[in-house]
Amino acid sequence: MWVFTVIPVVCMLASPSLAGIKDLDSHFNATNLKPRGLESGSEVDVEAIPLEFHKENTVTNDLILDGFEDEDYIDFDKILAAGSDDYIEGDEIDEIATPAPDIDIFAESSDPKIRRARLLRLFHGRSRLQRLNMVNARFGFNLYRSLRNDVNQTDNILLAPAGISIAMGMMSLGAGPETHHQIYKALGFAEFVNASHHYENTTVHKLFKKLTHRLFRRNFGYTLRSVNDVYLKKNVSVKETFRTETKTYYFAEPQSVDFRKPEFLNKANRRIEKLTKGLIKEPLKSVDPNMVLMLLNYLYFKGTWEQKFPKEMTYYRNFRVNEKTTVRVPMMTNKGNYLAAADHELECDILQLPYTGNISMLIALPRKITGMRTMEQQISPTVINKWLKNMTNRTREVSLPRFKLEQNYDLIENLKEMGLTDIFKQSGDFSRMTTEKVALNWMKHQGTITVNEEGTEAAALTQVGFMPLSSQIRFTVDHPFLFLIYEHRTDCLVFIGRVVNPSQN
């Protein structure tokens, strides 16, 4: 079972002012909730969870906390009754003129015309939601590269680009004109809005709402859930427009709290633990008492392989961390029909491992143990499209290490590198959120993924140098690799990660 849970946390500092926020006590009132199969106060052993646990214990179906009303959760039946099953009504947009075929849409360029041409080529023939997700993915890959430069070459990495983009989109609702422009530019939303005269700033928020409708449903065969929380310091006012828009687009409503009291941490951590099925425990160790605003996004995914790995076929073998170091890890093995491709430009092989539902894990394995850097540097939405377009299906023997990752990052410096600077200074403008002068001082991102035989739980542009992987009958993942969790209907990059040493958390 693969389990992913990720919590981006955005926090701001300021001085207190007026009141008027929904009280925290009405937000938390479920101290006795014990999801079936997970006993409170004990370690969560994912492998000990019954195989059918996810069918009867999904976040969407069961995790209605005491004190929460039905309207706090998405009524998917109502949504489906109002439109088509795939939410395509009104999703297709005007045709965008594409650049001439001789334009190199893959090469980086400082020329804005070339960048726009490349973007429009990538957008051609896709829905609004797919286009937004491509922008989110590009931001996610850039953030990954920035983070990769800050960690050791032997460190594992786990990021949830979708969750981070959702949190940043929610934060942009409260930003004044200049700060809003900087957020949209850094995340790529500005280019997205400028791609069509049908788009405007609110299009981004409407599409994030649609993404929630599209992805976080309970009848796809997997469980994917995003939950947003907004906490305001007691006696600090919030503008009604911000309150209304966060609830409308992100299903979040500002809650009044006292950051100085330990009760806040206890209740917030209990809520996170319950919403992530016990996978993330006490992510909030402490909070600055001067905090005025905290935004949280929890992203939970649990998927089951279409072709489960037989447990009796799992055995220990060597995994090469680098040219000098090997570790013994449990290696899952299966034989079946799998899609795969070979990218000769990036010198890597790609395997698609589908979950039940239209979502899969892509494994990108460098052919050389030293080839990770090149692949990380050049991966992009365009590259992912190339991989998916050029895959062939045949019987293969697949070997993949069983692993669990737990990662925790402070992303402030990485976001600064990507152009988000004003939000971390007093000059930042959040006048659409509150009358207080606030600045972002904390941007945490925490994630957990467990990969085993059952599945996963957690919380044509060009074909140059690209050929189908038709001759390979074995796909053995025995050295560092990248993985991506990818939802195919919406082209949503939900998670991206790197496994250098599967024996380490």
DSSP H helical ranges for 390-445: 412-417
The pLDDT of 472-499, averaged and rounded, is 89
- Of these ranges, 45-59, 78-92, 181-195, the one predicted with the greatest mean pLDDT is 181-195
The per-residue pLDDT for range 145-194, each reduced to its tens digit, is 999 999 988 899 989 898 889 888 988 998 899 999 999 999 999 989 98
Q: Kindly report the number of other CB atoms within 10 A of residue 285's CB atom.
A: 8
Residues 152-179: b if buried by 16+ CB within 10 A, e if exposed: eeeebbbbbbbbbbbbbbbbbbbbeeeb
Q: Looking at the predicted structure, is the pLDDT value of residue 433 above 80? A: yes
Q: Range with the lowest mean pLDDT among 15-19, 440-444, 463-467, 500-504? A: 463-467
Under a CB-based contact definition with an 8 Å cutoff, are residues 2 and 302 in contact? Answer: yes
pLDDT at 253: 82
Q: What is the CA radius of gyration of the chain?
A: 22
Q: Looking at the predicted structure, is the pLDDT value of residue 453 above 50? A: yes
The pLDDT of 272-283, averaged and rounded, is 74
d(CA 414, CA 235): 32
Global model pTM greater than 0.85:
no
Amino acid at 398: V
Structure tokens at 437: 């002068």
d(CA 121, CA 101): 9
Q: Can you give the three-state secondary structure of 288-320, one letter per residue?
A: CCCEEEEEEEEEEEEEEECCCCCHHHCEEEEEE
The pLDDT of 60-77, averaged and rounded, is 35
Q: Is 489 exposed, middle or buried (0-12, 13-18, 19+ CB in 10 A)?
A: middle
Calculate helix-pair angle for 240-250, 161-172, nearest 10 degrees. 150
Under a CB-based contact definition with an 8 Å cutoff, are residues 86 and 210 in contact? Answer: no
Identify the band that residue 264 occupies on the pLDDT scale cut at 50, 70 and 90. Answer: confident
CATH number assigned to the domain covering 2-90+113-301+406-451: 3.30.497.10
pLDDT at 10: 59
Identify the band that residue 313 occupies on the pLDDT scale cut at 50, 70 and 90. Answer: confident
- Say whether domain 311-404+459-499 belongs to CATH 2.30.39.10: yes
pLDDT at 456: 59
d(CA 447, CA 299): 9
The per-residue pLDDT for range 205-239, each reduced to its tens digit, is 999 988 877 776 555 677 777 778 888 888 888 89
Q: Kindly report the number of other CB atoms within 10 A of residue 354's CB atom.
A: 16
Higher-pLDDT residue of 28, 430: 430
pLDDT at 167: 87
pLDDT at 467: 34
d(CA 124, CA 109): 20
d(CA 381, CA 379): 7
Q: Looking at the predicted structure, is the pLDDT value of residue 480 above 90? A: yes
Under a CB-based contact definition with an 8 Å cutoff, are residues 327 and 355 in contact? Answer: no
Q: Range with the lowest mean pLDDT among 175-179, 277-281, 331-335, 336-340? A: 277-281
pLDDT at 455: 64
pLDDT at 268: 82
pLDDT at 219: 59
Structure tokens at 67: 């004190």
pLDDT at 114: 75
pLDDT at 405: 83
Q: Looking at the predicted structure, is the pLDDT value of residue 16 above 50? A: no
* Structural domain spans, the chain: 2-90+113-301+406-451, 311-404+459-499
pLDDT at 69: 30
